[in-house]
Chains A and B, each alone.
Chain A
C-alpha cells in the first residue's frame, strides 16, 4: 500500500446502524442469488461489500434500492422497518445509488438528468430551467463537486459523468449512498479524486456502501467489509485489522495466491521483433510514433501504461487487425533454443498470423474474442474451423471430434459449465476468458499476445490465468502482456516496457517501484 494514497479511516465503530438487511433471500430460476444474507452498515462509515462476480452483491444492493423484490427477509433503515417497493421508496428513505453502468440519458443536459423524476414544481408544470440550475449549483458548491448544469451529458468525460451520478443522488437528499463498482471506468487520478469526494461526504454525515472486487481499494478507503460468496455471507471484517489475502480467501473459499510464484526467466532468441512501427488510429491521427521492442522466447514482456496511450492500437497492429503505416514486425520460429525461420508478418492479416504461430487474447472478449451466441465447442475452434483435425476435406465439420476436443479443453482448463454445447454467453466472465485462453494456448503458438487478460475476471480465475501464462513462458513461448493493472504487470513480467503517447519510453526490470513506473507512465524520466 502506498502511503501517499492512504486516507485516514473514520472511526464509526459504535455509531448507530444506518442500514440493516436481515435474512435476505432472492432466487432466480436455477440460481440462488442471495441466500439468507445479513448486512449491517453503521452511520458515517464507508462499508465495503465484496465478492466475486455472481456472489450476489449487486443483487443485494438492488434489493435495498427497490429495483428487485426479495423473496424473504427484512430491511431496517435507521432503525425502522422499511418496505421498499421501488426506487421511489428507497429515495424517500434517503438511499441513493450510483450505478456501475451509468444511468444517464446522453442527449439530455446535466441539469435534466439530475432533476429527472424530482423536477422543481409539479409534473404537469413547465420545466423550470433556472430553478434547476440554481438547485444544482447549490449542491455542487456544498459538496465541492463543480459541474456545468447546461452541458449535455454525452459530451462529458467518464469521471464527470460519474460526478453527475453522485450529484443526482445528493439532489435527492440521500444520506446513504450505494456505489456500485465506481472505479472500473476511472483513471488512477480520477479514482484518487473520487476517494477524496467520498471522504468529504462522510465528513458531512453521509454513509457509504461501496461495492467492489478490488481489494486494494477496500483497504485504502473503507472502514468495514462484508464478504459474500456464492450468495451467502462469508465474513465481516474491520478493514484496519485485515489484509488482501484474508479478504481474498473469504471471497473464494480457499487460499488465493495474489502474487504468482515464478522461477527466473531463461530467455532464448528473439521471437517477436517490432521495429519502428507507426500507425494511425480510427480518426486518422498517428497514434504509434515508432514503437520498437523485442520479445524473446521464454520471457514475458509487460507493456504498462495508462489506457489510451496507444496500447490497444499496438495490439491491433501486431495481430493483423490494423494496418501500419511504416515499420516492420517479424515472427521467428524457435526450436530447441535455436532460431529456425523468420516470417515477416508486417502486412499479414489476422488469419495468416495465427497460422504463422501468433496467439492472441483480445482485450474485448465479448466483442472480438467470442461469438457469445455460439456454443462453447464452436468457440473453441474459432478461426480453425477448417483445420484438418476438425474437418473432412476442409469444409465438412466433424462435429464429434470438435465436441471431444472441446470437452478435453473444458476439463484441462477447469471451465465451469454444464455442457460443451452451452452457449458461451451463459458463462461467467472468468470462464468466458478461459475459453479464449484454452483455444489460444492449445494451438501451441510461438508467441502469445495477452491484452487485459484478467479484466472483469474473478480472483480465483485470475490466479488460474496467471499461472497458465507463466506456464506458456516456461514452455519457451514469447509472451507480450498488455495490461492497465499495474499489479498484474509487476507480478508477471520479466521486463516492463512503459508506453506513453505512442512510444515505448523505457524498459525496466519488474523490481522498479510503483513510483518509478508512475513517473514513466505520465511521461517523465527516471
Chain B
C-alpha cells in the first residue's frame, strides 16, 4: 500500500483520541455550556433587542469554537510527542518529514471535524434548525477546511515552542483573543469601531460568517469573501506548518 505510512500515523491519532474519554467530554462539554449559559441566558435580552433567535446565531460560533480549540490542541500534540519522546520514533523512521506531518495533521483534522459535527448534532437537540439542509454540505466543507487550517496552525506552533509554558501563553494570548474577536458570540453590526476593526482583521471572523451564511442565511461579508479568506488562511497555515516542521530538531 502506497500511503500506509500516512494511514498508520492517522490511525494512531484516532486510537489516542478514542482512548481518552475525558478529553472528548471536555472538548464537547465546553461548547455545550456556552450554548446553554449564553443561549438561554442572553437569548431573551437578544430577542428583546429585536435581533431574533440568539441560539440560531450562536450555533455557528460555538461550532467554530469547538473546531478552534480541538484543532489547535491536536496540532499541538506534536509538542507532547516531543516531550514524551515519541516524536523521535517518528522522525528516525524512513519516512519523509512531510508525510509524517500530513499523517498527524489529518488525524487532528478528523478529530476536530468530528467534534464540530457532534456539537452541531447536539445543537439540534437544543432546537437549532439549519436554514437549508442541502446548503449544510457547504457548512461541512467549511468546517473541514477550518479543521485542517487550525490543526496545521497548532502543529506549526508546536514545532516552534519548547515547553508547556509556551503552550499556555499561546492559549491565553492567541487562541482566546482569536475566539472572542471572531463575532462568534455577538453580531458585528452593533459593535463599537475599535472592536469591529479588530474583528475584521481576524480570519476566523470570516469563517464564522461563512458558517452563519450556510447555516442560518445571515451574513456580514457575503459568502464569496468568506470563502476567499478561508482559502487564504488554509494555504498560509499549511505552509507555516510544513516550514516549521521541516526545521524541527528532535
Query: Are A and B bound to each other?
Result: no
